[in-house]
């Protein structure tokens, strides 16, 4: 009996799960034995985490008992919680593709950790991932969504809509999982419109470095990032030296001195060159759009 058979006996078909979320084989081979160890030898700790999955002290207590890299044991615990989450999704009528696409966050964050460390694991991301496990945050096609409140400092009065601070709207997140092809954005919005039971014009917002208006100063006019930004009415922006979102382009680093930044992709190269001549200032924007199930209004 191999490790995958033992996991199936414990109620966890990790191979099936990995196939559906497209977790690379080498990642699966690294995390599966740790999943089996946690479920077989640390069941009480796993049960405590299930019951209070947002409590970081419970993860840290478990990790102190293990000999693994804490990021690998955290990855394994997230895989277990991700598989447990299928029952939550099904109970809300959101099983199948919606569930598996939402669990792809495990692939995205483990790949990010591997790029930066050369090891298998996930570093933290507790609050972020548990929102997927509880089905409060969901991936629908290319984008991710959750119910949120409109920024307290802003209002939006266009297209027959008036939105003020505190109003419930749909918040968009952009996973690091491929290009932002315009047709994929429309398809995702259509899925969200149906998923959230929208009628008329529904309001969506997004806060991201992708909506920083000065992206136009260094990106090519046909950039898919700029096309994505053009979907929104940008209501506010912020910028500063060594901005906290630089890691989203260059990865987690001790510093973001422009001359030391990696330039191994077109985006990294052009942004690093821009930062060198603009005092390392970077930023983000907050935008809003309305969608009626077919058309975007901004």
Supply the DSSP string of the chain, one letter for each residue. --HHHHHHHTT--HHHHHHHHT--HHHHHHHHHHHHHHHHH-HHHHHHHHHTTT-HHHHHHHHHT--S-HHHHHHHHHHHHHHHHHHHHHHTT--THHHHHHTTHHHHHHHHHHHHHSS------HHHHHHHHTTSSEEETTEEEEEEE--TT-EEEETTEEEETT-EEEEEE--SSS---HHHHHHHHHHHHHHTT--SSEEEEEEEGGG-GGGGGTS-TT-HHHHHHTTSEEEEEEEEET-GGGHHHH-S-S---GGGS---SHHHHHHHHHHHHTTTEEEEEEEEEEE-SS-EE-
Residue 95 has pLDDT above 90, yes or no: no
Per-residue pLDDT reduced to its tens digit, 220-262: 989 999 999 999 999 999 999 999 999 999 988 888 999 999 9
Average pLDDT rounded to a whole number, residues 136-164: 96
Q: What domains can be seen in the chain, in order of their start residue?
A: 3-136 (no CATH), 140-297 (3.40.630.120)
Per-residue pLDDT reduced to its tens digit, 157-209: 999 999 999 999 999 999 999 999 999 999 999 999 999 999 999 999 999 99
**pLDDT of amino acid 288:** 97
pTM listed for this prediction: 0.93
Average pLDDT rounded to a whole number, residues 113-122: 96
**pLDDT of amino acid 262:** 92
């Amino acid at each position: 009996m191999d490790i995958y058979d033992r996991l199936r006996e414990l109620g966890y078909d990790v191979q099936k799960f990995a196939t559906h979320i497209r977790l690379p084989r080498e990642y699966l081979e690294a995390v599966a034995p740790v999943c089996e160890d946690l479920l077989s030898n640390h069941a009480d700790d796993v049960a405590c985490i299930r019951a209070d999955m947002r409590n970081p002290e419970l993860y840290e207590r478990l990790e102190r008992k293990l000999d693994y890299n804490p990021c690998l044991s955290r990855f394994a615990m997230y895989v277990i919680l991700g598989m447990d989450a299928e029952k939550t999704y099904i109970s809300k009528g959101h099983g199948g593709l919606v569930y598996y696409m939402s669990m792809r966050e495990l692939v995205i964050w483990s790949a990010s950790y591997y790029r930066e460390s050369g090891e298998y694991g996930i570093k933290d991301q507790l609050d972020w991932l548990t929102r997927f496990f509880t089905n409060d945050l969901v991936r629908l096609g290319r984008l991710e969504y959750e119910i949120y409140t409109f920024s307290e400092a802003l209002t939006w009065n266009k297209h027959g809509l008036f939105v003020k601070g505190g109003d419930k709207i749909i918040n968009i997140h952009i996973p690091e999982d491929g290009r932002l092809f315009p047709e994929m954005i429309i398809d995702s919005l259509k899925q969200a419109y149906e998923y959230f039971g929208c009628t008329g014009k529904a309001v969506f917002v997004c806060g991201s470095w992708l909506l920083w208006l000065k992206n136009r100063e260094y990106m090519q006019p046909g950039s898919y990032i700029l096309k994505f930004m053009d979907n929104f009415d940008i209501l506010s922006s912020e910028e500063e030296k060594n901005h906290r979102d630089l890691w989203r382009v260059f990865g987690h680093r001790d510093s973001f001195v422009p001359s030391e930044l990696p330039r191994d992709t077109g985006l990294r190269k052009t942004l690093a060159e821009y930062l060198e001549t603009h005092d390392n200032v970077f930023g983000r924007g907050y935008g809003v759009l309305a969608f009626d199930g077919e058309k975007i209004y901004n």
